[in-house]
């Protein structure tokens, strides 16, 4: 039996899974990671914490599986858009500005003044967003010049971990797509944009790989510490969303994915770059599949919203249930299942730290709208699940507007594990929702890429065909579809009504923090 390791380096934590050639998970390890919020809208992580968490997760998985020396290769999925400045000594220069960080909005405006919208779209496939590398690098150049001058390269989070494993500096095209420094149609760095923005070309890793290519080989010291064989190949891997697409089998046109993790994503595969010209923060990327492209709509606080409810409203219950070996999320979804569809008019906006698609507003904040004496914890839990799903429907509607048929949605993340949340998605999207045998889509994708880089599978499509199978199908309930269509219209009207108030409130907060 051949075994492969998939590592999913997420924001909340790092997961490692040992998966065999038929798609059976032999073992999983997990270690949480913390975020750092030094100021409102600023969100960072310490790369050294990732490395420690990665080692812990891998060692857990290896110990549980008992097949560490039989693992033939490692592949990655990783949180996207994080910006790690690396010094000449191979060490990170401070914390990573992760995808949630909102500080570089002024630099976005600066970039927009240097390039026409048509030029930006033709090269990068997207409008510039404050989570991308380019504005973050300009912010670092302007606000931390001492670090910027010392920098020898810049890496995405998973690339940093891979560097620590192999000693090799490289990046790959799916992650690089959200740098705003990549020629997305050409799948190569755009020297033109780098020069125009004053970003030194030497910062961009010279080795720019396809996701399934070998980026390096596991160092002997790391292998010994982790219980693996030294010298096994490490695949370049992919950003979490293209990787998640692979892990759900979204490797050809016509299938849409819905992932509810810390963030929420609607993901699709295309034969050529997808470009949204209405500036709704739809991100266009190179897929982890070499001859494909993909797009995503991003909601910043999806599972993160439900986690906030857990930690704020159910902190005592969480500890009580953990002591009994029970899952607090099961308890919360059980409460939500007692509330009616639409939560009797309670509507939730999941904008804890601004949002991306389609509003692209760093000032937006979360709201419970329509709260009454009749609403209790049941309705609050359900309204959060519904509000998150409404925010993802926004991208579904953009797909339909662009002429795509969205009749089938493949679900992953926390929103796929709950039968209630799968039904809410089916009803709000008005599409059947499908799950596969692989709940851990990021780890599955990493394992598939590892299997390709070792030559076990000839390509990613073959790997998906061998490892993935349809598990559950949830059909929309027509009466619920009608109810949710009406509440969705309320949801869509709320942000425009609040936009000016969000901006004013942000100005006030900035004066005191």
Catalytic residue among 49, 240, 276, 427: 240
Q: Which two structure tokens, joined as six digits, stand for 17?
A: 């899974």
Which residues share a beta bridge with 385?
none
Long-range contacts of range 116-120, CB-CB < 8 Å, 24 or more positions apart?
117/279, 120/180
SS3 assignment, position 78? strand
DSSP 340: P
Cβ pair 263, 35 in contact under 8 A: no
Rounded to 5°, the CA angle 440-446-451 comes to 125
Beta carbons within 8 Å of 340's beta carbon, 6+ residues apart:
none
Which candidate, 72, 79, 62, places its Cα nearest to that of 453?
72
Residues 6+ apart with CB under 8 A from 431: 256, 396, 406, 407, 408, 409, 476
DSSP line for 111-170: HHHHS-HHHHHHHHSS---TTSHHHHHHHHHHH-HHHHHHEEEEE-HHHHHHHHHHS---
Q: How much of the chain is in helix, strand and coil states, percent to nearest 5?
A: 45, 20, 35
CA distances from 94 to 54, 85, 101, 330 (A): 19, 8, 15, 38
Could you confirm whether 240 is annotated as catalytic?
yes
Q: Across 340-468, where does the E strand assignment appear?
A: 347-349, 367-369, 408-413, 432-436
| Alpha-helical regions (H) of 248-327 | 303-313, 315-323
Rounded CA-CA distance 75/82 in Å is 19
Neighbouring CB atoms inside 10 A of 492's CB total 14
Catalytically active residues, by annotation: 240
């Amino acid at each position: 039996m051949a075994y492969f390791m998939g590592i999913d380096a997420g924001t909340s934590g790092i997961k490692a899974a040992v998966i065999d050639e038929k798609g059976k998970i032999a073992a999983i390890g997990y270690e949480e990671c913390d975020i750092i919020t030094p100021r409102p809208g600023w969100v960072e992580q310490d790369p050294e914490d990732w490395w420690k968490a990665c080692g812990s997760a891998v060692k857990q998985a290896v110990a549980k599986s008992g097949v560490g020396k039989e693992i033939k290769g490692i592949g990655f999925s990783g949180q996207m858009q994080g910006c790690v400045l690396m010094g000449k000594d191979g060490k990170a220069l401070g914390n990573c500005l992760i995808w949630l960080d909102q500080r570089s909005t002024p630099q976005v405006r600066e970039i927009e003044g240097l390039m026409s919208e048509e030029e930006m779209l033709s090269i990068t496939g997207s409008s510039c967003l404050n989570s991308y590398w380019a504005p973050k690098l300009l912010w670092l150049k302007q606000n931390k010049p001492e670090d910027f001058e010392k920098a020898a390269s810049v890496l995405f989070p998973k690339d940093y971990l891979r560097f620590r494993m192999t000693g090799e500096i490289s990046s790959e095209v799916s992650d690089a797509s959200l740098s705003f420094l990549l020629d997305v149609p050409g799948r190569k760095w755009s020297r033109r944009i780098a020069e125009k923005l004053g970003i030194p070309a030497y910062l961009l890793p010279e080795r720019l790989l396809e996701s399934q290519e070998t980026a390096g080989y596991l160092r002997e010291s790391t292998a010994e510490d982790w219980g693996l064989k030294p010298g096994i190949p490490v695949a370049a891997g992919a950003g979490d969303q293209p990787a998640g697409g692979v892990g759900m089998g979204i490797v050809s046109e016509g299938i849409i994915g819905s992932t509810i993790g810390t963030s929420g994503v609607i993901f699709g595969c295309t034969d050529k770059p997808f470009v949204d010209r209405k500036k709704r923060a739809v991100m266009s990327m190179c897929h982890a599949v070499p001859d494909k492209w993909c797009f995503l709509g991003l909601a910043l606080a999806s599972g993160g919203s439900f986690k906030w409810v857990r930690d704020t409203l159910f902190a005592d219950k969480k500890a009580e249930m953990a002591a009994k070996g029970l899952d607090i999320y099961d308890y919360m979804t059980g409460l939500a299942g007692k509330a009616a569809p639409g939560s009797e008019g309670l509507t939730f906006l999941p904008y804890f730290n601004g949002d991306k698609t389609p509003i692209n507003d760093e000032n937006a904040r979360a709201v419970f709208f329509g709260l009454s004496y009749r609403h209790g914890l049941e309705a609050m839990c359900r309204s959060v699940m519904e509000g998150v799903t409404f925010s993802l429907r926004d991208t579904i509607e953009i797909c339909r507007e662009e002429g795509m048929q969205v009749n089938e949605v493949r679900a992953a993340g926390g929103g796929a594990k709950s039968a209630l949340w799968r039904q809410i998605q089916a009803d709000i999207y008005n599409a059947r929702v499908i799950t596969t045998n692989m709940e851990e889509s990021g780890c599955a994708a990493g394992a598939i890429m590892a299997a390709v880089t070792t030559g076990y599978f000839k390509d990613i499509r073959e790997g998906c065909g061998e490892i993935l199978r349809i598990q559950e199908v949830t059909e929309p309930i027509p009466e619920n579809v009608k109810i949710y269509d009406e509440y969705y219209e309320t949801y869509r009207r709320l942000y425009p009504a609040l936009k000016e108030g969000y901006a004013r409130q942000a100005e006030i907060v900035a004066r005191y923090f």
